[in-house]
């Protein structure tokens, strides 16, 4: 696969883990953040060093091929309003979840049921973007260390069946998990339920965030 220029919006654990592996695979990775001088960004720089660039969100999107949304779900509507036009023509991967970070772990329950993804918001603001729903139903710890003995987990995702699929499949492979396309983004709710299953097992039953993943059996 050709080298991709990947813009990652957000400086949290998911973005840092995926971005580090993609940079190691030879891609050009640029993190877009609201405040490049924040303590969180300083920690990101310490973690990844010179293999990635950190800049403003506006600058990160220039000439990007792929955009990974690795912010909180609550931040997406504002980002879509600001940058929707810049998302058009690009592969935009929604890795966000509409839950307040840490709330489910603290309470041990989901609380009010809501739509977990931001696909609907993105479709309105960026109608010409290629939308993909992926990297949302595991914790960053699974992506950091995906091996389970001699097995690796499957990463279930939704997106179009076109050239973008080949790009996304390769990016997933480079994280160390196996891509399994469930369908186009109209099947997003199906893969969102995997987050609920994963959290019920790994968090609510205290099996451990790094100890639970899924694989599809075929014959």
DSSP string covering 130-147: EEEE-S-SS-HHHHHS--
**What is the C-alpha separation between 125 and 81, in angstroms, rounded?**
6
Domains present along the chain, CATH in parentheses: 5-204 (3.40.50.720)
DSSP 77: H
pLDDT digits (tens, 9 = 90+) for 112-134: 555 677 788 898 999 999 999 99
Residue written as token pair 């390769």: 170
- Helical H segments across the chain, by residue range: 13-24, 39-48, 57-60, 76-87, 103-107, 119-125, 140-144, 163-173, 188-199
pLDDT digits (tens, 9 = 90+) for 7-46: 999 989 999 999 999 999 999 999 999 888 888 888 888 8
Could you tell me the two tokens for 158? 């939704």
Could you tell me the two tokens for 47? 């973690």
Residue pair 86/60 in contact (Cβ under 8 Å)? The answer is: no
pLDDT digits (tens, 9 = 90+) for 56-99: 999 999 999 999 999 988 888 998 999 999 999 999 999 998 76
Tell me the pTM. 0.91
Q: Is the pLDDT of residue 104 over 80?
A: no
**What is the C-alpha separation between 159 and 150, in angstroms, rounded?**
28
pLDDT digits (tens, 9 = 90+) for 169-194: 999 999 999 999 999 999 999 999 99
Give the pairing type, strands 5-9 and 66-69: parallel
Question: HSE (CB half, 13 Å, CA atoms) of 56?
Answer: 4
- The torsion of the CA quartet 86, 27, 12, 47, rounded to 10 degrees, works out to -140
């Amino acid at each position: 696969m050709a080298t991709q220029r990947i813009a990652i919006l957000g400086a949290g654990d998911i973005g840092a883990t995926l971005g580090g592996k993609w940079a190691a695979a030879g891609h050009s990775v640029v993190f877009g953040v609201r405040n490049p001088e924040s303590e969180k960004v300083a920690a990101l720089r310490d973690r990844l060093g010179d293999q990635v660039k950190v800049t403003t969100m506006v600058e990160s999107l220039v000439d990007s091929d792929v955009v990974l949304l690795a912010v909180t779900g609550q931040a997406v509507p504002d980002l879509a309003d600001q940058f929707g036009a810049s998302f058009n023509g690009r592969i935009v991967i929604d890795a966000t979840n509409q839950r307040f970070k840490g709330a489910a772990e603290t309470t041990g329950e989901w609380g009010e049921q809501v739509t977990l993804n931001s696909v609907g918001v993105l479709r309105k603001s960026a109608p010409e973007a290629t939308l993909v729903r992926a990297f949302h139903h595991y914790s960053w710890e699974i992506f950091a260390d995906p091996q389970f003995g001699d097995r690796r987990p499957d990463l279930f995702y939704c997106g179009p069946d076109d050239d973008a699929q080949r790009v996304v499949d390769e990016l997933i492979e480079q994280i160390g998990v196996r891509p399994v396309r469930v369908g186009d983004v109209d099947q997003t709710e199906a893969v969102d339920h995997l987050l609920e299953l994963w959290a019920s097992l790994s968090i609510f039953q205290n099996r451990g965030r790094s100890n639970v993943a899924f694989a599809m059996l075929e014959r």
